Chains A and B, each alone.
Chain A
Amino acid sequence: MTMVKALNSALDNAMERDDSVILLGEDVGTDGGVFRVTDGLLNKYGKERVMDTPLAELGIIGFGIGMAMEGLKAIPEIQFQDFLYTGMDQIINQMAKLRYRTNGDYTVPMVLRTPYAGGVHGGPYHSQSGEAYFTHTQGLTVVTPSTPYDAKGLLLSSIELDDPVIFLEPKRSYFIKGEVPEDYYKIDLRKANVLKEGDDLTVITYGPSVPLVQNTVKKNNVNAEIIDLRTLNPFDINTILTSVKKTGRVLIVHEAPKMFGVGAELAATIAEKAIDYLSAPILRVTGLDIPVPFALEDYYVPNERRIMEAVNKLLNYQ
């Protein structure tokens, strides 16, 4: 099934098991969400559990936080990650900090789902990759799946967590297909996924860039180890270091801009903990450091050519 169907199946499983799970967001009810992730759920669970909301991201997020404070499991959908920013205060100042500032008196078991990154030629306001805003906020767990199977398992694990999760869905991968069990299953949120073993270099990537990296490595016969982070914060340091110590060469690929991004933190951490094992500089292939341009999006995102240039530079580095 597609990633959209896998997410729908996860929500369905979770709602069936637990009547405290409630979906809310713009057009999630009758319309089933603009990407149809919540399709059919209104009919099955009713408008008290699949709530169309007024057009106010601040309200959707704050409302979800309140439900979570009272023991419900709110799963708000923000139509596009680009539109979440009016609720950013709630995310940073309330959702992320509540457990800490009350020393656990209140927790926020809530999963904020939102499609992010490019792939639909949406211009500056339907294509943003804002993950670094969330990974730099203490208290948030930031998860991003790359396959339909992971989308369902990671979403179900996120729903079970007693902490707030920013669940970033790569919209460019919404309609890729894969095997997905109908039944309930979970995936460890604190473990990265080694998608392919290899010896010559480690490629660390996640979410929307995973298929590109896999295809590029395969097509060009690169003996690379590919790590899909799955969770960006807290990321799985052990899997990364084990691989880096084996290969000694590291490439990081993500669609978000480079400056001050997730790649920077990964590179710094690897340098701090394993620089003696490295035989080449850590390289990054990322989106360009500009807003996403409507007509020229294809030149903005990482591509096979840029990845292979970096791979060759790393492999030839003396």
Chain B
Amino acid sequence: MIEKTDISKEDLLNAYRNLVMERFLDKKMLNASKQGFLPFYIPLMGHEAIHIGIGLAIRNNDFFYPYYRDFGAVIEMGIPLDMALSQVFATENDNALGRSMPDHFSFKKYNIGAVITPVAGHLTAATGIAYAYRYRKKEGSIITTFGDGATSTPDFHVAMNFAGVYNLPMVFFCENNQFAISVPTYPTENGAFDQTYMETRGDIYKKAEAYGFKGIRIDGTDFVEVYRQTRKALENAKNGPVLIEAMSYRMGPHSTADDPNKYRTNTVPEGSAKDPLIASQKTMKDMDILDDGMIKSINDEMDKKTTELVNKYEREPKPDKHTMLDNLYEEEPWYISEERGDVQ
């Protein structure tokens, strides 16, 4: 049984600092996109506790296959900020040479899978990775994340079924922010959504049962709780897969391409009790790790730090255009060599 205390107070405080950093960075990256430095951006607000909790739970031996809204998880895992921000801002230092949209990380040396844009497109690969882990008798488990909308895809159901059939060492982690783009996850009665239909009628966490394993629903607004449940699931995954549905709320737009006021009333305004930043502060205070003075000083520090970071990365040079034809195949085909002449 894992207690809250199996992580040192120091590490918990560091995790909280990352959570605050994610909140500030998110706002500034969104702003950078409004100013034209990022052609597209995927906001994070509302997901921070899930991200930090997962990042804290993943150990070196584990493998993480994220989706496109997992920035803070990668940071909390200890991936250098420079690697992550070079990717987000598609700079010449991005290890994938700016080929994908923001937050599409691929860090093989840190056991992080390559984020893919098509929703749930990574879930079946995650099952294959889990199989390879067991086949090679590797330590550790696989955790893969996805949204609530992703549970409507064939990929989700096929991956869950394969995981059940082969009893794979993996955790399916659903970040339920209560809607896909404008379509709500579940039927709602309170008028919070301008709703026609929904993603599903059945509880997501219960879908695991049909595939022969356990599903649980947890509070996704408190990172300590997310950590505890995720770590437990990763350890139990040696005996078979687990599905976690973490409840949270997407506090911002889906992406820089939509206006949420069109389809919902914001029920979790910033600073309210269900805001993961506030919920996590409360837990940390209850654990005597945080007080109001620290909250203020960490805020000031992170505000300053993130401004500097964003200013730096939005001005970093883009990749050299001649790299764009590299690495399609192991051995370059004749027609790619010919097309090099087209890039001037």
Task: Kindly report which residue of chain A lies nearest to residue B123, judged by CB atoms.
Answer: A62
| A98-B128 in contact (CB<8A) | no
Assess whether A158 is interfacial by the CB under 8 Å rule: no
| A70-B116 in contact (CB<8A) | no
| B154-A86 in contact (CB<8A) | yes
A residues 50-83 with Cβ under 8 Å of B?
A: 53-54, 56, 58-59, 61-72, 74
Assess whether A209 is interfacial by the CB under 8 Å rule: no
| A68-B128 in contact (CB<8A) | yes
User: From residue B140, how far is it (CB to closest CB) to chain A in Å?
Assistant: 12
| Chain B residue total in the interface (Cβ 8 A) | 47
Assess whether A139 is interfacial by the CB under 8 Å rule: yes
| B114-A105 in contact (CB<8A) | yes
CB contact under 8 A between A70 and B327, given known A59-B162, A105-B96, A234-B333 = no
- Per a CB cutoff under 8 Å, which of B99, B130, B334 touches A101? B99
Assess whether B73 is interfacial by the CB under 8 Å rule: no
Assess whether B12 is interfacial by the CB under 8 Å rule: no
| Chain A residue total in the interface (Cβ 8 A) | 45
- Per a CB cutoff under 8 Å, which of A54, A64, A66, A100 touches B328? A100
Could you tell me the distance between the alpha carbons of A13 and B196 in the complex, rounded to whole angstroms? 57
| A103-B330 in contact (CB<8A) | no
| B135-A104 in contact (CB<8A) | no
Contacts of B126 in A (CB 8 A): 66
| B106-A106 in contact (CB<8A) | yes
| A67-B114 in contact (CB<8A) | no
User: From residue A47, how far is it (CB to closest CB) to chain B in Å?
Assistant: 10
| A53-B99 in contact (CB<8A) | no
CB contact under 8 A between A63 and B127, given known A89-B118, A139-B328, A237-B334 = yes
Given known contacts A70-B133, A139-B328, A139-B329, what 13 new A-B pairs fall within 8 Å (CB)?
A66-B129, A66-B131, A69-B114, A69-B128, A69-B129, A70-B129, A70-B132, A74-B128, A93-B116, A101-B99, A101-B104, A234-B333, A237-B334
A-B contact pairs, 23 of them (CB 8 A): A54-B162, A58-B154, A58-B158, A59-B124, A59-B158, A63-B124, A63-B131, A66-B124, A66-B125, A66-B132, A67-B128, A68-B128, A69-B113, A72-B132, A89-B118, A90-B121, A94-B122, A101-B96, A105-B108, A139-B329, A141-B329, A163-B329, A190-B331
* Chain A interface (Cβ < 8 Å from any Cβ of B): 22, 48, 53-54, 56, 58-59, 61-72, 74, 86, 89-90, 93-94, 98-107, 138-139, 141, 161-163, 190, 233-234, 237
